[in-house]
Structure 1
Amino acid sequence: MRPFTVGETATLHVVVTPQMTVDFDELGAVHPVYATYSMAKHFEEAGRKLLVPHLEPGEAGVGSAVAVEHLSPAWVGDALTVTARCTGLLGTRLNCACTVVDAEGRELGRGTTEQVVLPADALEARLGPAARRARDR
């Protein structure tokens, strides 16, 4: 893995869609606002965006932890900015602090992510043939 600088950031721009609102499989639609689980996905995506340029050939990253504190709502159509900031690298584990703000700069959420860098072939072996077939469809 190429070196990281603590404080290095990656940014993801998101516009809230109906698919990002609170809608549970068994319980159905609950609230027409940006879901906490969508925020978690975007935190992981921003962290991955930070990681990818640092991977060497033959390396792969996989998420290992995510924590989210959802502070304020956002509605369908709202433009959001998600930022992942490197807070440290411990061995092959990249830790990030994440935030999401709306177009007015209002903080909607904050949290952390962790990703582990592994040899790509080791990750492929752990995923198994069914995961590879699903990925390659």
Structure 2
Amino acid sequence: MKDSIKAELEHEIEFTVNENKTVPKLYPESELFRTMPEVFATGFMVGFMEWACMDALAPHLDEGEHSVGVHVNVSHCAATPVGMKVRAKVRCTAVDGQKTSWYVEAYDEKELIGKGSHDRFTINVERFNQRVAKKAQSPS
């Protein structure tokens, strides 16, 4: 990771909620999920916040690096219908070696829909993939 990543870095992204990002689509294998209202799912909102953090970090990563989420503490405080734009606003609150910490917020066109904190860890993709492959091959 480059030295250019600093606390107080801010970033925003936008997305229009479609039916594929609603609660019934989060786990279509579950009858409980399939029968829920078609609103922006908490799981997809968290992913949207992570996306904003990844996008903010991308210019500060070296070749062969990526970041992975390691901690999420987010509240989802308002429902968002299909077709509405959502905006994620993120601010880096700390850089500690390969770990970055973020304050995250999401808004739809009407109000704040979620907020909290998120930590990411910068990894070497090749080494990470090797560890995952080794784990998959080892007996339980």
Normalising by structure 2, we get a TM-score of 0.83
Q: Which residue of 2 aligns with 1:26?
A: 30
Query: Secondary structure, in 3 states, of the residue corresponding to 2:78?
Result: coil
CA distance in 2, matches of 1:11, 1:21: 21
Match of 2:112 among 107, 113, 117: 107
Q: Which residue of 1 aligns with 2:65?
A: 59
CA distance in 2, matches of 1:81, 1:108: 10
Q: Which residue of 2 aligns with 1:76?
A: 82
Q: Deviations over 1:25-73 (max 9, x none)?
A: 2121301111111111101111111111110123232221222200111
Query: Secondary structure, in 3 states, of the residue corresponding to 1:112?
Result: strand
Query: Secondary structure, in 3 states, of the residue corresponding to 1:110?
Result: strand
CA distance in 1, matches of 2:21, 2:75: 17
CA distance in 1, matches of 2:127, 2:20: 33
Match of 2:131 among 101, 121, 126: 126
Query: Secondary structure, in 3 states, of the residue corresponding to 1:113?
Result: strand
CA distance in 1, matches of 2:123, 2:15: 29
Structure 1 runs (4+) greater than 3 angstroms displaced: none
The count of aligned residue pairs is: 129
**Whose strand fraction is larger, Structure 1's or Structure 2's?**
1
Q: Which residue of 1 aligns with 2:13?
A: 12
Give identity over the alignment, percent.
25
Q: Which residue of 1 aligns with 2:93?
A: 87
CA distance in 2, matches of 1:108, 1:88: 24
Gaps of 5+ in 1: 132-137
